[in-house]
Amino acid sequence: MKDIDFTILNFIHEHLSCSFLDFLMPKITFLGNSGMIWICSSTAMLFFKKSRKTGIETFAGLSAGALTGNILLKNLIARSRPCWINDTIKMLISVPQDYSFPSGHTMSSFIAAGIIMHFNKRIGITAYILASMIAFSRLYLYVHFPTDILAGIILGTAIAYVICRIDKKHFAK
């Protein structure tokens, strides 16, 4: 599996790398640092009655993701990052110090996008586009394997689904 991961990463690095993306990708990945864009968005939602429930559920999902993905799975699996293994790649951001699997940026982005989509399809589509850009930035920047990203998408989508099911079952009017 690691061979496929490196094949995809090296393809991105060799064929998609350019000065424009070298400039843009660190900025996109920054939006996902510590889930900050999603935490800020959730906080803003709390101020408006129409979006308050979305904000609360997004916070709940992000908290569940931080616990399961960033605290439990990353430390349990302890997968090295690609930039730790192949240190010949010129890094465009600081080398992360935590483990690679699953991608926390991707997981939190897909949690938020999934919950937002549940409440507002139009804004949800925009959130999914941003989530996908953040996920791709992690590959472009050589800090995650494709399977880390895939796991982040699956785990984030699953957490969003569970949060939305709990809402539908217990809190729907």
Query: For 103-140, how does the pLDDT look when each residue is reduced to its tens digit (9 = 90+)?
Result: 999 999 999 999 999 999 999 999 999 999 999 999 99
Does residue 172 have a pLDDT over 70? no
What is the spatial distance between Cα 118 and Cα 171, in angstroms, rounded to a whole number?
14
Let me know how long the chain is. 173
Residue 34 counted as domain residue:
no
- pLDDT score of 173 more than 60: no
Across the chain, mean pLDDT equals 93
Which residues, in sequence order, are CB contacts of 57 under 8 Å at separation 6+? 115, 118, 119, 163, 164, 167
Instruction: Assess if residue 162 is contained within a domain.
Output: yes
CA separation for the pair 101, 159 (Å, rounded):
16
- Radius of gyration, alpha carbons of the chain: 16
Domain span including residue 111: 2-23+46-171
Task: Judge whether 29 lies within some domain.
Answer: no
Split into its structural domains, the chain has a count of: 1
Res. 35 pLDDT band, cuts 50 70 90: confident
Distance CA 109, CA 115 (A): 10
Let me know if residue 138 belongs to a domain: yes
In a domain, 82, yes or no: yes
